[in-house]
């Protein structure tokens, strides 16, 4: 029971973070640059890869796809823990794959992001790891 609760709590943290990130991407200006000239330049410049998008559109798309990936990760482990806990108990690969995913997000947060997601990801990953150990 403790293992299931830890998986549910850890996956929920990822779900909340991913959902907030998606909301911030589309419904707030939290990911805008502080310098309006930078945002303006991003809206009219293109990556070297292609002229079919702008740096701004790519930025929005990267943030949105990142959010969706975290939300999918969360949904998978919420579903497994809530309705198919025996699968997590019997499959070390599935149990520890979630931990590996959490560690990957943790490494990204440590290197590229800021304190709030780092703390949330560390807590979510710790819950998934404890859940995997206790399964």
Q: What are the tens digits of pLDDT across the range 17-44?
A: 999 999 999 999 999 999 999 999 999 9
Task: Pull the structure tokens for residue 61.
Answer: 């798309």
Q: What is the pTM of this model?
A: 0.94
| Per-residue pLDDT, 48 | 96
Q: What is the mean pLDDT of residues 1-16?
A: 97
Distance of CA 37 to the CA centre of its chain: 29
| High-pLDDT (> 90) share of the chain, % | 99
pLDDT value of position 4: 98
The mean pLDDT value for 108-130 works out to 97
Q: What's residue 110's pLDDT? A: 97
Residue 82 near residue 94 (C-beta atoms within 8 A)? no
**In the structure, what pLDDT confidence band is assigned to residue 77 with cuts at 50, 70 and 90?**
very high
* pLDDT, averaged across the chain: 97
Question: Exposed/middle/buried for 111, CB within 10 Å: 0-12, 13-18, 19+?
Answer: exposed
């Amino acid at each position: 029971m403790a293992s299931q609760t830890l998986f549910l709590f850890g996956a929920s943290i990822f779900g909340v973070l991913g959902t907030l990130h998606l909301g911030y991407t589309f419904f707030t200006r939290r990911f805008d640059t502080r310098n309006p000239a930078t945002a303006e330049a991003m809206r009219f410049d293109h990556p070297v890869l292609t002229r079919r998008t702008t740096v701004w559109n790519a930025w929005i798309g990267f943030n949105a796809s990142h959010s969706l990936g975290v939300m999918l990760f969360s949904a998978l482990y919420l579903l497994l823990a809530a309705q198919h806990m025996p699968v997590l108990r019997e499959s070390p690969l599935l149990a520890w794959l979630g931990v590996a995913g959490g560690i990957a997000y943790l490494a990204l947060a440590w290197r590229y992001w800021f304190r709030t997601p780092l703390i949330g990801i560390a807590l979510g990953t710790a819950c998934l790891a404890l859940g995997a150990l206790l399964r």
